[in-house]
Structure 1
Amino acid sequence: MTSPRPSRRTDFTVALICALPIEFDAVALAFDETWPGNQFGKASGDYNAYTLGRMGSQNTVLVLLHKMGKSSAATFLCGVCGGVPNPSRDVEIRLGDVIISENVVQYDYGRQYPSKFAHKTTVSDTLGMPVKKIRSFLAHLKTDFGLSELRDQIPNMMEQIQRKAVANGHWSKYLRPGSHADVLFRANYLHRHQHKRDCSCGKETVCDEAINASCADLQCDPAYYVLRRRLSSRIQEKSGRQATSDTSKSPPEVFLGTVGSGDTVMKSGEHRDMMAQQHGIIAFEMEGAGVWDEIPCIIVKSVCDYADSHKNKKWQGFAAMAAASATKAVLDMPTAPTAPTAPIATTTVSHTTETPSPAFIVPYNENPDFVGRSEILERVKDLFGHSDTYHRPGSRPRSRVALHGLGGVGKTQIALAYCYWFKERFQDASVFWIHASNVERFQKAFSDIARECEVPGHSKDEVDILLLVKKWLENKQRGRWLLVIDNADDTEVFFPVKPIVEADCRATSIGHSIPECSHGSVLITTRNKQAGLKLGLGKPPIEVEKMTESETTQLLRTLLEDESVTPAEASLLSSRLENLPLALAQATSFILENSISIKEYVGLLDKSDSSMFDHLSEPFEAVGRDTETPHALTATWAISFKHIEKQKPMASDVLYLMSFFDRQAIPKQFIWDYCHETLENALYSDDDSELGEDSENDFQIDTDLEVTQALGFLQAFSFISKAGDDLFDMHRLVQLVTRKQLADRGAMSDFATKALKIVRKVFPLGTHENRVLSLQLLPHALAVLEHSEVTIEKPLREDAWLSREVGEYFYRRRQYEAAKHFLRAADLYSKLFGPEHDTTLTVLCDLAHTYMRIDRTEEALELALKLLEADQRLRPKDTATILTDKRLTANALASLGRFGEAEPLYLEVWSNRKEILGEEHPSTLTAVDGVASLYKSTGRLKEAQELSTGTVELSKRVMGEEHPATWKRMRRLSKIYTEQGNYDQAEPLVLETLEARSRVLGESHPDTISSLKDLCDIYCQMGRVEEKQRMDRRVLEAEWADWSM
């Protein structure tokens, strides 16, 4: 059937635009009729190629894009695009699927590799809303009926195009490649030379040759494939679900969502996923933003690659044909957006010029207790251009500003204060308030606005109230207005990214129902930074942090109506409550109700963690708090926990884990270890056994991505914050509330054990060489040990080991805490292995040495005798261990002044070790040390000097001049010389020891400080005052440095 050729430009109702010849060819085959020539001509400078014809009932012009001009026809951009493989957890896009744009975002980053960026570095705002006819069509398409109508027609159109292609001699140009050709690599696995040495390819770089090579040429590793559920019929069969058809022949799926448009090709998987997550993008292409600048259009494209470095052209033909088929199917639908074929008579509508009276629809009274936050308020004024002094060269006022921060930090109160300031400042302006915690409340708020403001048409049946109010607000006759969107925490409420077969028409329109115009301002409050970034059109939200000390003092004075509250009292309370205004308001409510002082209330908080939790869970009344939002701080955070659990379960588990570490400087490595083990266990668990023995070749654990997303999510909700390179801080109260959540679920022991094992894995042996790392990890070790005492149900080896190593760290720093940890380790080992196990007795020996060092000598002697008795009974042939016990006993006796009992033990140990091991063995030298120390303590200085001189010489030769034992022997000999008044002989020994310790151990080490003090004593005895004063200063500086560590 032929149709008459149009005689006017306006007879063409549809414009189809293609950018690539292969796209153009596929669409041309979809035409039912074409008309040669172009009697209408082209404008000067127009280099586009046009084909005129009919597609279905529509007169259509097909354009091979060069440069866009204005058009009155309904415009479709048709062709191929790069798909986002998994825009959300439950959504999987595969090659050949059809993408239809709901809106377009210009990310404009240029060619993007992990280490190659184009010149532009910022993300543009969303490119406006589609025109009404397109919006109406998209609304129809999101219904089950509309979708079914479209999907049923696409295979028919594909068959028609394929028949024409074959008739034209193109047998295979548009055939669908097999499922084996649909390959997705991990986002961070780069398409580069894997084994070639003479090129510039590296872990983050790609040479020009590799860019143009195939995966087969580069030998890209199949081990980095990502398992695709829709492609794997094998998985379906193993899990008991029989595949209904060959996936290689199944029709394309259709997805509706945001399309990202840039000036060059997206070729980085990591950048693809980052942009997709940030803007809710489901596909990437290059022409949409440029076309949209001139003509609002619908993008209908098919996925030919995954927008990563592994892209190739295998799927371009089929994708071009699928897009053309989908476009033709769209045009066959009764609701297809087309232009009228002739001028339409217009009806003049009389609009009143009278300025409408301003509306103020805010559910809260002004808060008389609001204080501070002046910097944030001024920042909001400046960004909106509401300030009298507004002047920001090179930028225009924003139409949207988001406030984000931890629940209870005061975002809603700031927004409320801004509403009343705005009302006073612009008395002819309107103010509206929207509760956005869910779709229903958002819609209700719009309905309230429509009813109270008597928006025309609001009472009609089947009216789209969101669209109605949006257009009403965007009308310039409304004048200036401010719209507050409060509690916009859940991105799924505004930007659900699902296949349109599952999408809720009502829900998907929420994010696009927010009005956008030059005379309106939208202020958003959210706990979720990611939501704030999206709702703020890509502009960074303002972070609302904790109050300053001066603000908390002012707030407490206002809430308590007591100007006598001192800064010290305010600091006492606010420091316990992390300077959070909601917690402070809750505290003052309790203080007033019970007529107690701030100090008494702090005493109640300090009783225990559970006591603090109970007080923070007390409900109370406050101005500016939503009736459906819990007022207690703990309940407020519970809402955030639920959002996190729903949207990112791994992030909630990470939050639970972090609550058992010290709250400051939590290493990212802890989180990586946990996530990796969790993912690995999930991959190889029995629940996933249906994946089969070969599944590890199909799926690789992307721990880095999981960690990045989990930590990013927790930062977005302000539960954690960056504290430096790969370090994170966590609010103390957040830790407390998080652990209480676990306790209520009976999961405390599980996560406490995981945290303990992670720290035990990385905590180093308590040697001097590991002192810096030990110091960094010590707070976390102490934290997990503290929690293990009360939460872990049975003793763990990790607990005992970590307790001992922490004790070793304190012992080497001569700190009393060592005894507590050795005692705990001994108790745990006793429960694990028995009271007389080798390991248990060894730790008891450590404890005895600690008691000696901290002057608990009686207890040390008691332990030493107990160890000696046990070893003689249990291992009578273990001479070395028994001699060690005897020497420990002798040390304790000598320290108590019981030299007569100690001497025979020292001599026995020396004699036995010399006989068994020889005079130069380190253990023999240690035995001599005991005898020499005894002689020194009993005034037998000549004998002590003779023995010490010999051990110093032997120690230097046998153990080395820089061995700690050599330094101790040199120090003892210098002390003997000093007691004899031989300062000239003592000084060089002390100087030599000091220089070696300072060089090897550092100036602030306790042993170095001991040598400094020895030198001070010698200079004092010798009357060398200036040198003594210089040494005194070194001692003070070293001790300060040691204390500060």
Structure 2
Amino acid sequence: MRPKSRNDFAIAIICALPLEADAVEVLFDETYDRLGKYYGKQPGDVNMYINGRISKHHVVLCYLPGMGKGSAASVASSLRVSYTGIQLALVVGICGGAPPPPNYDEIFFGDIIISDTVMEYDFGRQYPGGFQRKSGVKDTLGRPDREIRTLLKSLQAYNSRIEFQDQVLQYLHMIQQAGTRWHHPDIDDVLFKASYLHKHHGETFSIKCCESDVPDYICHDALERNCEDLGCDNNQVIRRQKPIKAANISVHIGTVGSADTVMKSGQHRDAISRKEGVIGFEMEGAGVWDNVPSIIIKGVCDYADSHKSKSWQAYAAATGASAAKAFLEYWRPVSHDDASKNRHLMIPFGRNPRFVGRQDEIHKLDDLISMPDGAKKLAITGLGGVGKTQVALELVYRMRDREAECSIFWIPCTSYEAVEQAYMTIAQMIGIQDAKPAEVKDCIKDYFSQKDEKWLLVFDNADDLDMWTKGSSTAPPLNDFLPYNDQGHIIFTTRNRKLAVKLASADVIHIPKFDKETGLEFLEKSLIQKGLLNNAYASIALLEQLTFLPLAVAQAAAYINENSIGVSDYLLLLQEQEADVVELLSEDFGDEGRYKDMQNPVAMTWVISFCQVQKLDQLASNYLSLMACVDPRNIPQSFLPQSASKKKMIDALGLLSAYSFITIQLGSGSITLHRLVHLATRNWIKKEGQFLLYIRKAADRLSKTFPHDDHTNRQLWREYLPHALFLLEENEKCGDMLG
């Protein structure tokens, strides 16, 4: 039945060339309307549409006024205004293929290129030394949504791909019955060496590209001629396929390069293909990608080099259109409106508008959740203040937006009481009204273990090992109450990697500190006065002083905003005496993304971790306190007192590493203590009244381990000298504590 209004169209097909649109329209099973006679469009929308049906899908075919990303972006934006129900856009047509070097044994004319990622390879800066593509997280396009990714993954399986390719051939035969122009051109498929240019060769031409002073110059006349006319050297051919073998069509799924310029350089093509894994080049996909969930589906008509020929365009347009129709046979979109009515959402924080970076980590988590037989329990680990909660929160909001049927519940694990309160709230939301407090966790475990719909539980700040694995005299361990169901997933955020492994096995994602580019972006989003970042040197120096730790950067930005000072001013404050720096890093600040009963200043955020380490392993606590008394970099393991067994020492260092307090270098085994953790630990043991005790213990260890006056110990001198000097300087500052 023909749709009653424009809102009933869920699929858009966008074509840049009339040839591409003609091929698509041939495969319409039914045409409803042409050029808006029946369905019309919104005022101001200058697009031209053809409405029809492909299989069971109501489709709107949209013409572009011209080639390029800008034109595509404008058309896609107007499309969303007139057709509000669009769930998926297919960018269909022809493209340049990029056979992967060095073997070039894949991708032929007529093959299908399907995007799972789009890269804007012309987006960057031109420097004197050449063009540098921007590759930061904020400068690259995201991945398609989960529904699209899941279908693309399934099509990459061997049997599914063979079935899909057979379906494409069936539809190609249908198109070819409609006209001879869609047939195979019956000429050789030729790939030249990447460095060999399509230009005038020989002495018979009055116009010769070789007369130019520019080495890679190709004149306009050459671009309009075919290889036979120009005398392109057959000895420069690296691959040739005869027409008799060209009946097979292969489907390639991967990264597609999109730009406002046509790729006509084999060398540039190969360079991008090697570095970025690009399998095809086109000009419209990036413009659509940012406006509507989309996939690029195109037939290969050239090899993105200078030897372009229009002879293959119609055939490639036919294969691209056939692949688009075959793809729609597999597309089963979720009815979001119906699914969302039955779900529950319990998320304590709003979405973080300053969230930046972390795309790799979120994609890994996303992929683990998306796999049909993938992990059901996952953990996010990292140093306190590195942004574990924010990564989980961003992932939750992305799932909320795309998984309309998925219920999400967030459980803060700051205390056993907080967990119990969250469980009581969940029980009320899902309709378990009569359960007693002592029974509610068992009831919820049973409920989620049997639930047919998708669900996600997030246990945030799951740091207390005893709470999860041992319990207490009045409360069993929380691990006993975790549900299991093929429809559900559980995510833990924890500072303790050892606990993460116990809870989630190998499915643990570590969150590192910011890199420079992401740190600058976060600082910019956090500051009220953006002009403060004009001093790039001071901004980077500040990030380095704060070790690129997100919590420290957020605290610094809050202080700068509140006191109307510059970045350089805050940087000077970090150069003050240790006590002043600790006071600065102890400044409380507002943060809507943290729990009200938790202290959020940097100098305080690790106190709970210090106490947990002390409770779990006294040897680890002693090691941490000793290392706080010497230089935090490259501490020899021999400096640490030997324990009764090698295993206890390994366990103690493993615990400190699990909390991301230390890094153990491979090979040498030397230890580096996180610089801000070093400062916070010193402050902690001072407050505990044990600073003098550990200073003396450190001095005693150095006197026992520092090598004797023998030139054979020269390497050991180099290792221990910075720590001896650090301790002597400490002694001078504090007034001869060592006697």
With normalisation by structure 2, the TM-score equals 0.52
Question: In the TM superposition, what are the counterparts of 1:74-223 in structure 2 within 5 Å?
Answer: none
Q: CA offsets, 1:550-580, max 9 Å, x none? A: 1110000000044441543321111111111
Matched, 1:634 2:608: no
1:105 maps to: none
Matched, 1:521 2:506: no
Question: In the TM superposition, what are the counterparts of 1:2-401 in structure 2 within 5 Å?
Answer: 357-385=342-370, 396-401=373-378
1:662 maps to: 631
* More relative contact order, 1 or 2 (CA 8 Å, 6+ apart): 2
Question: In the TM superposition, what are the counterparts of 1:608-757 in structure 2 within 5 Å?
Answer: 608-671=577-640, 674-676=641-643, 702-725=644-667, 726-757=669-700
User: C-alpha distance in 2, partners of 1:540/1:462?
Assistant: 32
SS at match of 2:480: coil
User: C-alpha distance in 2, partners of 1:556/1:354?
Assistant: 39
User: C-alpha distance in 2, partners of 1:515/1:661?
Assistant: 47
SS at match of 1:415: helix
Contact 2:625 2:681 in 1 (8 A): yes
What one-letter code is carried by the residue in structure 1 that aligns with 2:485?
C
1:448 maps to: 425
What one-letter code is carried by the residue in structure 1 that aligns with 2:380?
L
What one-letter code is carried by the residue in structure 2 that aligns with 1:481?
W
Contact 1:753 1:792 in 2 (8 A): no
1:465 maps to: 440
| Structure with more of its chain in strand, by fraction | 2
Contact 1:416 1:624 in 2 (8 A): no
Alpha-carbon spacing, 1:794–1:430, altered in 2? closer, same or farther (3 Å): closer
User: C-alpha distance in 2, partners of 1:795/1:649?
Assistant: 24
1:191 maps to: none
Matched, 1:553 2:520: yes
Alpha-carbon spacing, 1:741–1:355, altered in 2? closer, same or farther (3 Å): closer
The CA RMSD over aligned residues, in Å, is: 2.1
Alpha-carbon spacing, 1:783–1:631, altered in 2? closer, same or farther (3 Å): same
What one-letter code is carried by the residue in structure 1 that aligns with 2:731?
S
2:331 maps to: none
Cα offset, 1:724, TM superposition: 2.5
Contact 1:437 1:487 in 2 (8 A): yes
1:758 maps to: 701
Residue from 423, 426, 443 that aligns with 2:403: 426
What one-letter code is carried by the residue in structure 2 that aligns with 1:413?
Q
2:480 maps to: 512
Q: Report the identity percentage.
A: 31
Alpha-carbon spacing, 1:633–1:795, altered in 2? closer, same or farther (3 Å): closer
SS at match of 1:432: strand
User: C-alpha distance in 2, partners of 1:460/1:419?
Assistant: 28
SS at match of 2:654: helix
SS at match of 2:572: helix
Alpha-carbon spacing, 1:761–1:557, altered in 2? closer, same or farther (3 Å): same
Alpha-carbon spacing, 1:401–1:795, altered in 2? closer, same or farther (3 Å): closer
Contact 1:675 1:706 in 2 (8 A): no
Cα offset, 1:461, TM superposition: 4.1
Question: In the TM superposition, what are the counterparts of 1:945-964 in structure 2 within 5 Å?
Answer: none
User: C-alpha distance in 2, partners of 1:792/1:520?
Assistant: 60
What one-letter code is carried by the residue in structure 2 that aligns with 1:789?
E
Cα offset, 1:794, TM superposition: 4.5
What one-letter code is carried by the residue in structure 1 that aligns with 2:360?
E
Alpha-carbon spacing, 1:631–1:354, altered in 2? closer, same or farther (3 Å): closer
Contact 1:756 1:788 in 2 (8 A): no
Give the number of aligned pairs.
Answer: 399
User: C-alpha distance in 2, partners of 1:511/1:519?
Assistant: 19
Contact 2:339 2:405 in 1 (8 A): no
Contact 2:635 2:719 in 1 (8 A): no
What one-letter code is carried by the residue in structure 2 that aligns with 1:422?
M
User: C-alpha distance in 2, partners of 1:607/1:620?
Assistant: 21
1:250 maps to: none
SS at match of 1:459: coil
Q: CA offsets, 1:474-511, max 9 Å, x none? A: 2233x1112110000011001117xxxxx536323x11
Matched, 1:487 2:429: no
SS at match of 1:440: helix
Higher Cα Rg: structure 1 or 2? 1
What one-letter code is carried by the residue in structure 2 that aligns with 1:542?
I
SS at match of 2:606: helix
User: C-alpha distance in 2, partners of 1:756/1:463?
Assistant: 53
Cα offset, 1:654, TM superposition: 1.1
What one-letter code is carried by the residue in structure 2 that aligns with 1:615?
L
Cα offset, 1:793, TM superposition: 4.8
User: C-alpha distance in 1, partners of 2:677/2:704?
Assistant: 26
What one-letter code is carried by the residue in structure 2 that aligns with 1:486?
D
What one-letter code is carried by the residue in structure 2 that aligns with 1:371?
V
User: C-alpha distance in 2, partners of 1:505/1:747?
Assistant: 34
1:416 maps to: 393
Contact 1:766 1:774 in 2 (8 A): no
Residue from 528, 543, 546 that aligns with 2:510: 543
Q: CA offsets, 1:55-97, max 9 Å, x none? A: xxxxxxxxxxxxxxxxxxxxxxxxxxxxxxxxxxxxxxxxxxx
Alpha-carbon spacing, 1:722–1:407, altered in 2? closer, same or farther (3 Å): same
Contact 1:383 1:397 in 2 (8 A): yes
Alpha-carbon spacing, 1:356–1:494, altered in 2? closer, same or farther (3 Å): farther
Contact 1:406 1:717 in 2 (8 A): yes
User: C-alpha distance in 1, partners of 2:525/2:437?
Assistant: 50
2:46 maps to: none
Question: In the TM superposition, what are the counterparts of 1:595-606 in structure 2 within 5 Å?
Answer: 595-606=564-575
User: C-alpha distance in 1, partners of 2:340/2:682?
Assistant: 56
Q: Which runs of 5+ in 2 are unaligned?
A: 1-337
Contact 2:538 2:571 in 1 (8 A): no
Contact 1:763 1:777 in 2 (8 A): yes
Alpha-carbon spacing, 1:438–1:770, altered in 2? closer, same or farther (3 Å): same
What one-letter code is carried by the residue in structure 1 that aligns with 2:515?
T
Alpha-carbon spacing, 1:505–1:753, altered in 2? closer, same or farther (3 Å): closer
Q: CA offsets, 1:208-265, max 9 Å, x none? A: xxxxxxxxxxxxxxxxxxxxxxxxxxxxxxxxxxxxxxxxxxxxxxxxxxxxxxxxxx
SS at match of 1:507: coil
Cα offset, 1:791, TM superposition: 4.1
User: C-alpha distance in 2, partners of 1:629/1:369?
Assistant: 21
1:775 maps to: 718
1:436 maps to: 413
Q: Which runs of 5+ in 1 are unaligned?
A: 1-352, 498-502, 677-701, 797-1045
With normalisation by structure 1, the TM-score equals 0.37
User: C-alpha distance in 1, partners of 2:446/2:341?
Assistant: 15
Cα offset, 1:593, TM superposition: 0.5
Alpha-carbon spacing, 1:768–1:354, altered in 2? closer, same or farther (3 Å): closer
What one-letter code is carried by the residue in structure 1 that aligns with 2:355?
F
Alpha-carbon spacing, 1:727–1:533, altered in 2? closer, same or farther (3 Å): same
Cα offset, 1:379, TM superposition: 1.0
User: C-alpha distance in 2, partners of 1:547/1:637?
Assistant: 18
What one-letter code is carried by the residue in structure 1 that aligns with 2:732?
E
SS at match of 1:522: strand
User: C-alpha distance in 2, partners of 1:354/1:365?
Assistant: 22
